[in-house]
Amino acid sequence: MLDQLFNPSVQHVIDLVGIFVFAISGALLAVRKNFDVFGIAVLAEVTALGGGLLRDLIIGAVPPAAFSDLGYFLTPLLAALLVFFLHPEVERIQVGANIFDAAGLGLFCVAGTVRAYDYGLGLTSSAALGLATAVGGGVLRDVLANEVPSLLRWDRDLYAVPAIVGATMVALCIRYDVLNAFTSGLAVVTAFVLRLLAMRYHWRAPRAWHRRSTAIEVPE
C-alpha cells in the first residue's frame, strides 16, 4: 500500500530527510550534555532510527531498514558531523530545524501506520506503531541522555498528540477505503500544522484534575 501512495524513490528521499532532521536534534542534545564525538554520533543514530527500528522489529520486517540500507545508517552520521563542527551555527537555525522536525513527525506517523497495516496489523495497532515510529527515537534519545522523555513532560509543547491525530486519520482512511495520496498527504499536513501550532502557542496536555502533587518543579 505504501508503494501505491508514494513512488519508492520519493519514499526513500522522504525517509532520509526525516532521519536527517531527527538526527540533528539528537546530536544537538548530545552537545548540550557535553558528550564526546562518539556520544554525539550515538544519540544522532538513536534519535533518527529508533522509532523505525522498533516498528520493524515488532512487525517482523527483518532485517530492519536501518541495517539493510546503508543510507539510513550514514545519514545520521552526516548530521552528527555537521553538528560536531558547526553546532553554534546549527543552534542559530533551531527554529528551522524544529519546522523540519515537525514535518518529519507528520511523515513518519503516516508512513509508520501504513507500513504496519501492510504487515497485517489491525487498525488500532497500526496507528499505535505509527505513533511509535514518529516519537520512539526521541524517547530513546532522552533516556540515553538521562532526561525525562519530552513525551512525558507536562512543561513541553504537545508532541505525541499531533502524531496520534495523523496516525488516527490514516487508520480511519484505511477503514473507509479512502486512503490515497491526497488523504495521506492531508494527514501529514494535519500532524505538521498541529505541531507548529503547539510550538507557537505552547499548547500542553492537562495534568491530573485537582492534583495535589508534592513533586518539586525545577525550572530549566
**How confident is the model over 31-66, as pLDDT tens digits?**
889 999 999 999 999 999 999 999 999 999 999 988
pLDDT of residue 86: 86
What are the pLDDT digits (tens) for 151-207?
A: 888 888 999 999 999 999 999 999 999 999 899 999 999 999 999 999 999 999 888
- How far is residue 153's CA from residue 204's CA, in Å, rounded to a whole number? 9
Residue 45's CB: how many other CB atoms inside 10 A? 26
**DSSP designation for 177:** T
Task: Please name which of 53, 40, 51 lies closest in space to residue 144, comparing C-alpha atoms.
Answer: 40
What residues contact 136, with CB distance under 8 A and at least 6 apart?
50, 51, 52, 54, 55
- How far is residue 120's CA from residue 56's CA, in Å, rounded to a whole number? 13
What are the pLDDT digits (tens) for 15-34?
A: 888 899 889 888 888 988 99
Confidence class for position 217, pLDDT limits 50, 70, 90:
low
| CA atoms within 13 Å, Cβ hemisphere of 75 | 24
First CA to last CA across the chain, in angstroms?
44
pLDDT of residue 41: 97
What are the pLDDT digits (tens) for 94-133?
A: 666 677 778 889 989 998 999 999 999 999 999 999 999 9
Task: Please name which of 13, 185, 196, 16 lies closest in space to residue 114, comparing C-alpha atoms.
Answer: 185
What residue type is 179 in one-letter code? L
- How far is residue 37's CA from residue 30's CA, in Å, rounded to a whole number? 9
Instruction: List, as own/partner pairs, every contact residues 30-33 make where C-beta atoms lie below 8 angstroms and the sequence separation is at least 24, other chains included.
Output: 30/83, 30/145, 31/83, 31/84, 31/87, 33/145, 33/146
Kindly tell me if the per-residue pLDDT of 91 is higher than 80. Answer: no
Mean pLDDT, the chain, whole residue set: 87
- For residue 140, what is its C-alpha cell? 530513546
Kindly tell me if the per-residue pLDDT of 219 is higher than 70. Answer: no
181 touches 5 (CB < 8 A): yes
